[in-house]
Amino acid sequence: MPRPTVSSISRDLIAIGRRFYSRGWVQGTSGNFSAVVSQKPLRLAITASSVHKGQLRASHILQMNESGTTIGTRRSAPSAEARLHLEIVRRRGAGAVLHTHSIWGTILSASAGNGDGVTIDGFEMLKGLSGVSTHQHAEHIPIVENDQDMVRLSGVVGETLDRNPRAHAFLLRRHGLYTWGDTLADAERHVEILEFLFETIGRSATFRPVGGEATGHYGAIENS
């Protein structure tokens, strides 16, 4: 399979931005997306800072090297959270990283108690996550405390990923979802699966925290 070009990656990121905006997952200028252009040397295509994801253009997709420096002549800066993308790519070998700011993801990240994350199990949709083959899977999603110091936050994210090697995603507290995949299509599917689960938990009266809110453990209640 031929390697995706910067132009094709840009088109895909633009299309994802429009789809995610239409779903309410990246309102205003929230969210950021990236995809690996090359591994050696490491190069990422990443959305520029403070741009509306539903109105992305090719000029809003920048190339960035492994130190977070923009490559080329464009004067726009990459997302302020570019360091987090680099950290995820390095730790997970990801081909793409997507960050959303949905209402349900933000609510869940803020209401899951003071533990280190939430665990979701018993849902058929979990099988959409890479490597998961049963609804009995328990997906632990770490919650990382938000921080405006991106150097410090990227270090915490790296430590969190190392402590949770099976995790497909993490939440920033009162902020949003980060997930990734081997390809952009995989990462987009993970967003769809996880946002579905977040909204299901938030909306449905047939689901509740198992063992109390502070545990951050969510599962299905069996009908008697």
CATH number of domain containing 30: 3.40.225.10
pLDDT on residue 220: 43
Residue 109 region by backbone torsions, left for phi larger than 0, else alpha for psi between -120 and 50, else beta: alpha
Question: Pick from 137, 157, 158, 161: which is nearest to 147 by CA?
Answer: 157
Q: Look over the chain and give the mean of its residue pLDDT values, rounded to a whole number.
A: 88
Q: Indicate whether 144 belongs to any domain.
A: yes
Structural domain boundaries, residue 44? 6-220
Span 185-212, pLDDT tens digits: 999 999 999 999 999 988 874 445 444 4
- Number of folded domains in the chain? 1
SS3 for 170-189 is: EEECCCEEEEEECCHHHHHH
pLDDT of residue 27: 94
Does 156 map to a domain? yes
Residues with Cβ within 8 Å of 50's Cβ and at least 6 positions away in sequence, in order, are 29
Q: E strands of the chain, at which residues?
A: 32-38, 43-47, 61-65, 70-71, 96-100, 117-121, 138-144, 169-172, 176-181, 207-209, 217-220
pLDDT at residue 114 above 70?
no
- pLDDT on residue 87: 96
pLDDT for res 75: 63
The pLDDT of residue 90: 95
The average pLDDT across 45-55 equals 94
pLDDT of residue 116: 81
Query: What is the phi-psi region of residue 35: left when phi exceeds 0, alpha when psi lies from -120 to 50, beta otherwise?
Result: beta
Asked if the structure places residue 1 within a domain, the reply is no
Segment 87-112, tens digit of pLDDT: 999 999 999 999 999 999 999 998 76
